[in-house]
């Protein structure tokens, strides 16, 4: 009997994101740790087509990040080191997909700053993310999660359907 693929890349009409359970749990742990202040980081994985995104890893804010009630400033130098290391460890098969951050006691709606950040990522050649995504974890201590993707240079990002998947390496035997 043929094995079913772990991920079916047929995107829904609006697009789909598959987020590895271990990576999502890592982001949720960081969100809880920083609560009630904002935190965030980078999303890594791959995107075989614009409406299909796989998040396999997250990178946190870094040890010198600044966390405040409505903003956070990442430790960019640390994040860049972590990104380069993850890229090499994955045999150069991972890509930077975009960012994630929290809205403590807030909603999963993107702020004007969030929307501008997504457009900036899409336009920045060094990011190499033509269709970047942004995940928002909102609320706390119970969290809602939404992921949006910027698919056009102009216009707002679209909400992706979220599925959490467990990779074979995450399973304990």
**Predicted confidence (pLDDT) per residue in 120-132, tens digit:** 998 888 888 889 9
How many C-beta atoms lie closer than 10 Å to residue 23's C-beta? 22
Q: Is residue 73 domain-resident?
A: yes
Burial (Cβ within 10 Å: 0-12, 13-18, ≥19) of residue 172: exposed
Q: Is residue 173 domain-resident?
A: no
Q: Is residue 150 domain-resident?
A: yes
Q: What is the pLDDT of residue 151?
A: 84
Q: What is the pLDDT of residue 171?
A: 55
Q: Calculate mean pLDDT across residues 67-82.
A: 96
Q: Is residue 135 domain-resident?
A: yes
Per residue in 40-71, pLDDT (tens digit) is 999 999 998 888 999 999 999 999 999 999 99
Q: Is residue 30 domain-resident?
A: yes
Q: Which domain holds residue 96?
A: 20-167
Q: What is residue 83's DSSP assignment?
A: H
Q: Calculate mean pLDDT across residues 7-20.
A: 72
Q: What is the pLDDT of residue 131?
A: 92
**By mean pLDDT, which of 19-33, 58-72, 80-94, 157-171 is the weakest?**
157-171
**By mean pLDDT, which of 21-25, 73-77, 154-158 is the weakest?**
154-158
Query: Domain total for the chain?
Result: 1
- pTM listed for this prediction: 0.89
Q: Is residue 5 domain-resident?
A: no
Domain CATH number, residue 35:
3.40.140.10
What values do phi and psi take at 61, rounded to 5? -75, -25
Cα 1 from Cα 105, distance rounded (Å): 48
Nearest to 47 by CA among 138, 129, 170: 129
Q: What is residue 50's DSSP assignment?
A: T
Q: Is residue 29 domain-resident?
A: yes
Q: Is residue 35 domain-resident?
A: yes
Give the residue carrying structure tokens 């999660």. 145
Residue 23 · residue 56 · CB < 8 Å:
yes
């Amino acid at each position: 009997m043929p094995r079913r693929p772990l991920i079916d890349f047929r995107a829904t009409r609006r697009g789909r994101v598959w987020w590895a359970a271990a990576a999502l749990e890592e982001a949720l742990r960081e969100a809880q740790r920083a609560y009630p202040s904002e935190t965030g980081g980078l999303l890594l994985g791959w995107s075989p087509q614009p409406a299909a995104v796989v998040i396999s890893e997250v990178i946190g804010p870094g040890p010198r990040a600044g966390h405040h009630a409505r903003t956070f400033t990442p430790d960019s130098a640390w994040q860049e080191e972590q990104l380069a290391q993850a890229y090499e460890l994955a045999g150069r098969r991972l890509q930077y997909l975009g960012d994630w951050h929290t809205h403590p006691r807030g909603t999963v709606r993107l702020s004007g700053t969030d929307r501008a950040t997504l457009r900036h990522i899409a336009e920045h050649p060094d990011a190499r993310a033509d269709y970047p995504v942004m995940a928002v974890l909102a609320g706390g201590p119970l969290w809602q999660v939404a992921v949006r993707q910027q698919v056009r240079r102009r216009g707002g990002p679209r909400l992706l359907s979220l599925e959490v998947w467990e990779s074979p390496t995450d399973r304990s035997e």
